[in-house]
Structure 1
Amino acid sequence: MVYRYESDEDAFEEYPGPGSDLPAPGAGSPPPAGPSPSRFPAPSLPRANQLMLPSAQPPPVARAAAPEATPLGQVYTSAHPVEPTTRRGGGRLWQAVIGGAAVLVLLALCGLGAAALLADRNQEPQTTPTLQPNAAPNPSPQRQDLDSRDTDQSPLTAKELFPAKELKLTDGQPAYQVLKTHSSGSCAVAATGEVADLLVRLGCNQVVRATLRAPGGDHLVTTGLFNLTDKVSAERTRDRLRQLLDERQGRFRGLTAGDDDGTDVLTSAPARVGWQVRGHYLAYALVVRADGTAVKSGDAKIREILFDMIEVHLSRGVLQRRADTAIAAQPTAEPTERSGTQSGSNDDELPGD
Structure 2
Amino acid sequence: MHLLTRGLAALIVLGICVMLGFLIVSDEGRDPAAATDRTIASRAADPSPLTVAETFPAGAAGYQVEKAVAETDCTVAVTGALRSELSGYGCSQAVRATLAVPDSGYLVTAGVLNLADTQSANAVADRVRALVETGDGSFTAMTGAQIPSGTPVGWRARGHYLLYCVITGPAGEPVPSGEPLLGQITSNLLDDYLSDLVLARRASGS
Structure 1 position 163, deviation (Å)? 2.1
Q: Distance in 1 between matches of 2:64 and 2:137?
A: 28
Structure 1 residue 310 and structure 2 residue 190: aligned?
A: yes
Q: Which one of the candidate residues 232, 243, 252 is aligned to 2:119?
A: 232
SS in 2 for 1:192: strand
Residues 194 and 244 in structure 1, CA contact (< 8 A), matched pair in contact too: yes
Structure 1 position 197, deviation (Å)? 1.1
The letter for the 1-side match of 2:90 is G
Larger radius of gyration: 1
Structure 1 position 292, deviation (Å)? 4.5
Gap runs ≥5 in structure 2: 1-34
When the two structures are superposed, what TM-score results if normalisation uses the length of structure 2?
0.76
* 1:246-257 paired onto structure 2 within 5 Å: 246-256=133-143
* 1:283-298 paired onto structure 2 within 5 Å: 283-298=163-178
The letter for the 1-side match of 2:114 is N
Residues 135 and 149 in structure 2, CA contact (< 8 A), matched pair in contact too: no
In structure 2, the partner of 1:57 is none
Structure 1 residue 153 and structure 2 residue 40: aligned?
A: no
Q: Distance in 2 between matches of 1:210 and 1:270?
A: 21
> CA 1:284/1:254 → structure 2, altered by over 3 Å: closer, same or farther?
same
Q: Which one of the candidate residues 50, 53, 57 is aligned to 1:163?
A: 57
- Write out the 4+ residue segments of structure 1 that deviate beyond 2 Å after TM superposition: 266-270, 291-298
Structure 1 position 281, deviation (Å)? 0.4
Structure 1 residue 182 and structure 2 residue 62: aligned?
A: no
Judging by fraction of residues, say which structure has more helix. 2
Structure 1 residue 272 and structure 2 residue 152: aligned?
A: yes
Query: Which digits, 9 at most, give the CA deviation of each residue in 1:140-190, with x for residues without a partner?
Result: xx95611111111111111110122x22x4xxxxx3100000111111010
In structure 1, the partner of 2:88 is 201
Q: Distance in 2 between matches of 1:294 and 1:192?
A: 17
Q: Distance in 1 between matches of 2:201 and 2:172?
A: 35
The letter for the 2-side match of 1:146 is I
> CA 1:237/1:269 → structure 2, altered by over 3 Å: closer, same or farther?
closer
> CA 1:247/1:159 → structure 2, altered by over 3 Å: closer, same or farther?
same
Query: Which digits, 9 at most, give the CA deviation of each residue in 1:260-303, with x for residues without a partner?
Result: xxxx8x84574210100100100000001114444232321111
Q: Distance in 1 between matches of 2:109 and 2:180?
A: 18
Residues 148 and 231 in structure 1, CA contact (< 8 A), matched pair in contact too: yes
> CA 1:325/1:270 → structure 2, altered by over 3 Å: closer, same or farther?
same
Gap runs ≥5 in structure 1: 1-141, 170-174, 258-263, 327-353
Structure 1 position 238, deviation (Å)? 0.7
User: Which structure is higher in RCO with an 8 Å CA cutoff and minimum separation 6?
Assistant: 2
Residues 224 and 314 in structure 1, CA contact (< 8 A), matched pair in contact too: no
Judging by fraction of residues, say which structure has more strand. 2
* 1:12-31 paired onto structure 2 within 5 Å: none
Q: Distance in 2 between matches of 1:292 and 1:207?
A: 21
Number of positions where the alignment pairs a residue of Structure 1 with one of Structure 2: 171
